[in-house]
Amino acid sequence: MRAIDDSGETEAKGLEPKIKENIAVLFSDMDCFELSAELVRNKIPSKASAGQEAPEDIEIPAGPTDLVPGPAISELGAVGIQIQIDKGKINIKESKIVAKKGQKITGPVADILSKLDIKPFSINLVPLAGYDSKEKKVYLNIEIDTEKTLKDLKEAFGRALPFAVEVGYTSKDTIKYLLQKAERKSKAMETVVNNHTPEVNSGEVN
């Protein structure tokens, strides 16, 4: 706070509401949003601790491990994992989900995940705000999750495409579907016409 006051950058004081505990200040020549995306993208895998909530379903896959027979056998059995011994190492017979999304991770599960070097969490710096010294602007809430944004765009496109085809909106993405739709309707109409062609009999139309 004192550094901002002494900087002479009056506009930078807009960052003060975001400055609380556990804050790091980064200086860069990069654009605020480019730097934000880079920080979000660079995640470090992290081991699970007892009491944490699983971010997704945590699965221990089937296959060989580097664990040797011993206490690990009973520890794996305690969380419901079936094993077999092969060439002096423990093999996991079947994949098993040991913690569902949102469920708290137990101590035994955390221990097994650690021994198997499974890191279900990730650590990264969370961008809170940015100050552009050239534009003299403060940008709040600049966290950009590129993967989530792309996923959301794909889902939105998936919903928009059938709607656009239904209403007959023409674009390079819909044209082939519109042509297919027109062809289907044409064939359906042809079938209807052929099935209802009037018969001419002795000068009368039936």
Reported as a single tens digit per residue, the pLDDT across 163-198 is: 988 888 889 888 998 898 888 888 888 887 887 655
pLDDT for 105 beyond 90: yes
Q: Please compute Rg for the chain using Cα positions.
A: 31
Q: Give just the sign of the alpha carbon dihedral 168, 169, 170, 172.
A: negative
Give how far the C-alpha of residue 82 lies from the chain's centroid of Cα atoms, to the nearest Å: 30
pLDDT for 69 beyond 80: yes
CB atoms near residue 120 (< 10 Å): 20
Using an 8 Å Cβ cutoff, are 168 and 60 in contact? no
Give the pLDDT mean for 124-148: 84
Query: What is the amino acid identity at position 89?
Result: K
Q: What is the pLDDT of residue 104?
A: 93
pLDDT for 203 beyond 80: no
Q: What is the pLDDT of residue 16?
A: 86
Residues 71-96: tens digit of each pLDDT: 888 888 888 989 889 888 899 999 99
The C-alpha angle with vertex 78 and arms to 74 and 81, in degrees rounded to 5, equals 90
- What CA–CA distance (Å, rounded) separates 58 from 66? 19
Q: Tokens at residue 35, please? A: 């730097």
Flag whether the pTM goes above 0.95: no
Beta-carbon contacts of 194 under 8 Å, excluding residues fewer than 6 positions away, are none
The mean of the pLDDT values for the chain is 86
- What CA–CA distance (Å, rounded) separates 75 from 81? 9
Query: What is the amino acid identity at position 8?
Result: G
C-alpha distances out from residue 47 to 81, 189, 201, Å:
19, 63, 86
pLDDT > 70: percent of the chain: 95
Q: What is the pLDDT of residue 190?
A: 82
Q: Which CATH homologous superfamily contains domain 46-120?
A: Ribosomal protein L10, N-terminal fragment, domain II (3.90.105.20)
Domain ranges of the chain: 2-43+124-143, 46-120, 150-195
Residue 2 binned pLDDT confidence (cut-offs 50, 70, 90): confident
